Amino acid sequence: MRSWCLSVRLSLLISLSGCLSIVAVSSVGASEKPNSQDAGTNYETSYQIPQLKKIELPTTNAQLLVQTPTNEITGQVIPITGVKANPTDKGVEVILETTLGEKLQVTNRSQGNNFVADVSGGQLRLPNGDAFTFKSEKPLEGITEITVTNIDANTVRVTVVGEKALPGVELFDGDEGLIFTVPSIATSAQTPETPTEEQPAAQQDEPIELVVTGEQDRYRIPNASTVTRTDTPLRDIPQSIQIIPQQVLRDQRADISSALLNAPSVRNAAPSNFDSLRLQVRGFFSQSTVNGIKESNGLASNVGPDLTGIENIEVLLGPNSVLLGSTSPGGTVNFVTKQPLRDPYYFIEATVGSFDFYRGEVDISGPLDDEKKALYRLNASYRNQGFFTDLSQTRNLVIAPVFSLELNKNTNLTIEGIYKNLQQENNNLGLPAIGTIFSNPNGDIPRTRITNEGELDVTTTRIGYKLEHKLNENWSLNNSFRYGYLNYDGAGLNVGTQLLSDNRTLLRTDSDYSDRYSDYRLTTNAIGKFVTGSIQHQLLFGIDLGRLDNSLTFTERSGAPIDLFNPIYGQPSGDVTFALDSNTVTDELGIILQDQVTIADNFKLLLSGRFDTFTQTNKDFLANTETSQSGSAFSPRLGIVYQPIPPISLYANYSRSFEPAIGQAFDGSDFEPIRGTQYEVGVKADLRQGLAATLAFYDITQSNVLTEDTNNVGFSVQTGEQNSQGIELSLTGEILPGLNVFASYAYNNARVTQDNSIPVGNQVQRTTPHAASLWTTYQILQGDLQGLGFGLGLFYVGDRAGDTGNTFEVPSYFTTDAAVFYKQDRFRAAINIKNLFNVDYFENAFNRLRVSPGAPFTVQGTVSLTF
């Protein structure tokens, strides 16, 4: 027979008899500590079970072990640094590696054919801080799947899925920790010591294939390191954070633009097939980061449109200057990349769809040596697609390698890179409002109409490293460097400038771009834990250095007019009307000091401040001039978290942000940085295991905004102000076994409160008071239809201001997406439908001449294989 052993700080004997017995667990001593670096599966030829003490309990949702759920010394969640598997003569043992197993709490939550044990007080967490998931499909006869995974900030769930019956469980206490032993039906039906002819004893130690996938196979992620630069549970962070996990991205078959619809506080002002992002968060233009490291606006906006190599998306709501330096007060979108896995993992996928959509992807990972100290991961994809607009074509190649090396037990090095090439022909730049939103005497302009005849070739390259060193149990250092390069070439890009009185002739410009970005980022952090009396501290001291070198060549000509109802393409352009040839170098230095203070287990403070200084030098080669400007800013952040009961976190924060305002006033004085100030309160609730909700209220004021100098034409003054107030509500996780939900609602009232050219009270362009999203899936977990699943998505966006003057509104829309998928063993097939009811709607508008229609009914079919 094939036998299987799972060794975790918890020990269970699982059969199909339906009984449950438990044994208390003792911790591993310092000298007996398992290899904490081995987070994968480790087979041994023999395993001796220590002396056990057995406690009989019924198979109900009874508490199996009642212990303090956190380390009494540090107050932190207990790290489970590895999952180890050992074969035995009866099956398999799975060990959750930790030195504090006696502090864990176990609860039986079995349902139907699924044995489910929740281990509270711990987290599956590698020594480098990364979460991982243990998974084995069909390990034994009668057992469909065994998984060990994090389900919230301090709970690990062990699940054993019986094929036809609920597996019975025995839990033992020994020096090795909690041990789950899972026999097959044949084993449980006979005395283990008496082999049959069909199951000879010689085969009982044969290992089965175990897979530690590292994938986030759920709708809720409990931790985020970006917000504090430390690994902190979301429930302990006094800030609203929304994480769009890998599972949602996969189920929706999402690209970057469609993925951000799951975060209603985020608006992408660009069309869905645009070459880059134009983000607004909580009403303010924002930028994105990768793995928490800031990038220049040019590089940051060109992360898309493909999500190859992206594990999840973190939306950090509110000012983040204390972490990143100059940023918008609304928030930041952070893209977290996939990291190497300790066990071989191979994934291949193919997608075809409407409008000649073709895409292929591979994701391979595993060790490069027997000791699993050198790991790799390679993500790559190629996409060739049309679009619903005429003559539009996109080709996108992405190659994203990652290599990690354990230099010694306390030092890890990760080297990561990415190469992207995006080519677009005739990408959609929008249509006039007259003929789309408003009536036109000539009729409606076809939504498929293209007014742009240009071509884009955009190449993005990033390469960098992260070096992590643990000085001792309490202090660690990490150092990261990343170089990014962007080469943006655009030829013949046409933008509308005026719609003539006949309401059909659009005047255009014809522009050529050559934009180059070289971005250098160096970040160093020292992190330490210490105690002053009864108060615990986690101190962070960080230094950031950055340099951006941007060269831009731009030529604009008068373009050929186009008839919107009878276009003739390929007409010659006119004379040059504007030209620019410049180079801008920006140097930045930031120093951050942060203290996460635990006054009591249910009362925490976050105190942080950052000082930034920057210098920018601009050279205009055509005018033969050079200008330079420097400035500095201090950005504080204060937060408090109070947990009246463990599942509820009440929080409040005060934070500030800054953005450089380059230029001079009429009197020759340099502009001060634009400042943002936020006050936020909220509540985070763990409604049940794996299901969480967040409610946030915020008020943001942006001051020192540039506005027209009414006394001196052509100059600006910093008397402008904007205010954004709102409410956000989100619900994420598993409602019932197999039923997942990812839902959000955002109310955002973003208004101009002071300005010399924009009427006070105007709604900030592209913002909407109301936006909501709901995505839910249900997968059948047992029976003949096991593996079949369904998904439903509902997305609502309210009326939006079409321009700064609020002269027109982009109407609200409500669209529906759907999915049908089937997963069996390593095979998955899915059909995704977007805009199921073929609703006519408008995504956004740059102005009255650039309104972007949304895509019609679209179907995509996907087949993937994991092995």
Q: Name the pLDDT band for 374 (thresholds 50, 70, 90).
A: very high
Question: H or E stretch including 298?
Answer: helix 297-301
Mean pLDDT along residues 360-370 = 95
- Residue 179: pLDDT over 90: no
Mean pLDDT along residues 626-641 = 95
Q: d(Cα 853, Cα 336) in Å, to the nearest integer?
A: 30
Q: Name the pLDDT band for 850 (thresholds 50, 70, 90).
A: very high
- Residue 91: pLDDT over 60: no
Q: Name the pLDDT band for 763 (thresholds 50, 70, 90).
A: very high
pLDDT for 219 equals 84
256 close to 398: Cβ distance less than 8 angstroms:
no
% pLDDT > 90, the chain:
62
Pick the range with the lowest mean pLDDT from 119-128, 760-769, 838-847: 119-128
Mean pLDDT along residues 673-693 = 92
Map out the domains of the chain as residue ranges: 5-190, 345-866
pLDDT for 160 equals 79
Mean pLDDT along residues 117-131 = 72
Question: H or E stretch including 258?
Answer: helix 256-259
pLDDT for 839 equals 96
pLDDT for 482 equals 96
- Residue 19: pLDDT over 80: no
Q: d(Cα 402, Cα 462) in Å, to the nearest integer?
A: 11
pLDDT for 173 equals 47
Mean pLDDT along residues 784-812 = 94
Q: d(Cα 296, Cα 281) in Å, to the nearest integer?
A: 17
Q: Name the pLDDT band for 9 (thresholds 50, 70, 90).
A: very low
Distance between first and last Cα of the chain: 23
Q: d(Cα 742, Cα 263) in Å, to the nearest integer?
A: 10
Mean pLDDT along residues 771-798 = 94
95 close to 191: Cβ distance less than 8 angstroms:
no
Q: Name the pLDDT band for 113 (thresholds 50, 70, 90).
A: confident
Phi, psi of 32 (to 5 degrees): -105, 5
Mean residue pLDDT of the chain comes to: 83
Pick the range with the lowest mean pLDDT from 161-175, 260-274, 798-812, 837-851: 161-175
pLDDT for 63 equals 33
pLDDT for 110 equals 75
Q: d(Cα 152, Cα 299) in Å, to the nearest integer?
A: 33
For CA atoms 862, 400, 221, 213, the dihedral sign is: positive
CATH topology of domain 345-866: Maltoporin; Chain A (2.40.170)
**pTM of the predicted protein model:** 0.78
Q: Name the pLDDT band for 498 (thresholds 50, 70, 90).
A: very high
10 close to 104: Cβ distance less than 8 angstroms:
yes
Mean pLDDT along residues 861-867 = 95
Mean pLDDT along residues 699-705 = 96
Burial class (CB in 10 A: 0-12, 13-18, 19+), 578: exposed
Q: Name the pLDDT band for 867 (thresholds 50, 70, 90).
A: confident
Q: d(Cα 30, Cα 623) in Å, to the nearest integer?
A: 70
- Residue 585: pLDDT over 70: yes
- The predicted-structure confidence for 500-539, as pLDDT tens digits, reads as follows 999 999 999 999 989 999 999 999 999 999 999 999 999 9
- The predicted-structure confidence for 265-284, as pLDDT tens digits, reads as follows 998 877 777 777 788 999 99
What's the gap between Cα 449 and its chain centre? Answer: 34
Mean pLDDT along residues 599-614 = 95
- Residue 13: pLDDT over 50: no
Mean pLDDT along residues 835-857 = 94
pLDDT for 295 equals 80
Is 853 or 108 the better-scoring residue by pLDDT? 853
What's the gap between Cα 580 and its chain centre? Answer: 37
- Residue 338: pLDDT over 60: yes
- The predicted-structure confidence for 220-239, as pLDDT tens digits, reads as follows 887 776 778 887 888 899 99
Q: Name the pLDDT band for 181 (thresholds 50, 70, 90).
A: low
pLDDT for 16 equals 33
pLDDT for 304 equals 65
Mean pLDDT along residues 656-680 = 93
pLDDT for 171 equals 57
187 close to 80: Cβ distance less than 8 angstroms:
no
pLDDT for 198 equals 38
Closest CA to 858 of 262, 385, 313: 385
Burial class (CB in 10 A: 0-12, 13-18, 19+), 200: exposed
Mean pLDDT along residues 442-447 = 95
Phi, psi of 103 (to 5 degrees): -90, -5
Q: Name the pLDDT band for 558 (thresholds 50, 70, 90).
A: very high
pLDDT for 182 equals 54
pLDDT for 144 equals 74
- Residue 626: pLDDT over 90: yes
Residue 11's identity, in one-letter code, is S
